[in-house]
Amino acid sequence: MSGKPKLHYFNGRGRMESIRWLLAAAGVEVCLYRMSPCLVPFSLDGSLLFQQVPMVEIDGMKMVQSRAISNYIAAKYNLYGKDLKERALIDMYVEAVIDLNELLMTHTFQPADKKEQHFATIVDKATNRYFPVYEKVLKDHGQDFLVGNRLSRADVQLLETLLMAEECKPDILVKFPLLQSFKARISNIPTIKKFLQPGSQRKPPLQEKDVPKLMKIFH
C-alpha cells in the first residue's frame, strides 16, 4: 500500500474528481480512504494546510489545493507538454475547463427557483464560450490531441467536462462534430476506457438527496 497516492475526500466528485481522472489517465493506482463527512476536520487534524480537502498524500507530501495537486501529477506523469509554451497552452485550456466545471458542479446546489436560469447559463456558456474554442483548436491543427500532438492533461480534463456537460444536457455536443470524435477517441485510450467502466474510482454525479448533508459540511 505504501507508494500509492492516498486520496482524502468524501465519497463524491467535487474537487477531487479531476485528480482521480488524471491519476487514472496516467495509469496510477491509488490507495483509497473513504472518509465519513463529519470526521473531515478532526481525523486529519494538522494534516490539512488550510483546513480543507482535497488532500492527497503523494511522494512524502500531504498536498492540498486541487490545482497544485493536479499540476504535480500532470508534470510527474508527463501530461504537461514538453516546454513552457505547450504548458502555457495547456494551462489556458485547463483553466477555462475548470471555470466550466464550476458551473456544472454548482448546478445541483442551486435553490429550486434559480435552477432553470442556472441551467440556461450552463448551456449558453458551454455552447457559446467554451466548446467553440476547443472545436476550433482541433479543427485548426487537425491533430488528435489538443496540444503538441500528444495526450496531455488538457485532453483528460476536457473529456471529463464534456461528459459532465452531457449529463446535464445529453445533446449538448450536437453542433460540435470534432468534440464528438475527440470524446470517442480519448475515451478509447486504455487507461481512460478502464476508468469509464463500472467499478473504477470514478464517482457518480451528486444526487439531490445528498445536497443538504454536503451543505452542512462545506458551508
Q: How many residues does the chain have?
A: 219
H-run or E-run covering 32: strand 31-34
C-beta of residue 74 within 8 angstroms of C-beta of residue 24: no
3-state secondary structure of 197: coil
Nearer to another protein, 18 or 71 (CB): 71
CB-nearer residue toward another protein: 68 or 105: 68
Taking the complex as a whole, the smallest distance from the CB of residue 200 to another protein amounts, in Å, to: 26
Return the number of the residue (59 or 188) whose C-beta is nearest another protein: 59
**Residues lying near another protein in the complex (CB under 8 A):** 49-51, 59, 61, 63-65, 67-68, 71-72, 75-76, 84-85, 87-88, 91-92, 94-96, 99, 129-130, 133
Based on CB atoms, which residue is closest to another protein, 69 or 159?
Answer: 69
Strand order in the sheet with 61-64: 31-34, 6-9, 55-58, 61-64
Quote the least distance from Cβ 207 to another protein, whole Å.
24
Shortest spacing between CB 118 and another protein, in angstroms: 12
Among residues 90 and 192, whose Cβ is nearest to another protein?
90
The position carrying cell 439531490 is 208
Minimum distance from residue 31 beta carbon to another protein (Å)? 19
C-alpha cell at 108: 445541483
* CB of 148 closer than 8 Å to CB of 86: yes
DSSP 9: E
Whether the CB-CB separation of 74 and 177 falls below 8 Å is answered with: no
CB of 19 to another protein, least distance (A): 13
